[in-house]
Chains A and B, each alone.
Chain A
């Protein structure tokens, strides 16, 4: 990257890229949490792939199906839940920055928009939780 900058001719316009170490995100707490937010995608993807596998296993018939109960699975889910909650908090809070609209010519306060997002999250969780538990036996 340094060589690219040093060999740049004056005639050609080049973008200067400041060299950064691979561990730049460990230098500040804010950077670290920014990287955690991007990383949340990985555990969430793994958990959804597990859910798809759980659905697929039901196709093997009654004798081939057993629900997951092992401690490692619960630990895996608990870790995924922490990342899922971090994704939800950060993503739903962003709505207050992104969404701007007016009601009766007055801008809706961003706090109210964020509150409605979290309200929606609560309602969705209660409904889905009720279905998952209500149809259980």
Chain B
């Protein structure tokens, strides 16, 4: 019995670790430039940015590749954040953040953000090819 249990691959563990690592890499590679350009340089008027005008913003949001990119950019890092914030709470003295219900809440929130992102991206701008 114990031998069977030992051989059973920790599939769930593997999936969440994979999502943690991928989300972390994506966040590291992609987020800083978005914050710099869309959050600082654009609003200060230093450069022209695609989201400063309605027509350029809505037009690029209609592109299916952009939609897919934004979905990955927004949703995947949340699986990384879920893990980090859970362990931040553990380190601050809340071991309950390791429990199964806490995992459901944190990874559930990442899934909710993913579904929300899919909904927003599909309903905001009509899909335009080219």
Residues of A within 8 A of B (CB): 20, 22, 25, 35, 38-42, 44-45, 47-49, 51-52, 54-56, 58-59, 61-62, 65, 67-70, 73-74, 76-78, 80-81, 84-85, 87-88, 91-92, 120-121, 124-125, 128-129, 131-133, 135-137
Contact flags B105-130 to A (C-beta < 8 A → 1, else 0): 00000000100110011011100000
| Chain A nearest CB, measured from B83 CB (Å) | 8
A-B contact count (CB 8 A): 168
Number of interface residues of B (CB under 8 A): 55
**Given A59-B120, A91-B28, 7 more contacts at CB 8 Å?**
A41-B80, A42-B85, A54-B38, A77-B35, A92-B29, A132-B33, A132-B51
| Chain A nearest CB, measured from B123 CB (Å) | 6
Cross-interface CB contact of B47 among A56, A92, A133, cutoff 8 Å: A133
Q: A41-B80, A120-B29 are in contact. Are A132 and B37 (CB under 8 A)?
A: yes
Residues of B within 8 A of A (CB): 24-25, 27-40, 42-44, 47-58, 60-61, 70, 73-74, 77-78, 80-81, 84-85, 87-88, 91-93, 113, 116-117, 120-121, 123-125
Which partner residue on chain A sits nearest B80 by CB separation?
Answer: A41
The DSSP consensus for interface residues of chain A is helix
Task: Give CA–CA (A45, B78) in the complex, Å.
Answer: 7
Task: Give CA–CA (A48, B39) in the complex, Å.
Answer: 11
Task: Give CA–CA (A52, B70) in the complex, Å.
Answer: 9
Judge whether B124 and A132 touch: CB under 8 Å. no
Which partner residue on chain A sits nearest B109 by CB separation?
Answer: A45
Judge whether B52 and A41 touch: CB under 8 Å. no
Contacts of A44 in B (CB 8 A): 27, 31, 77, 81
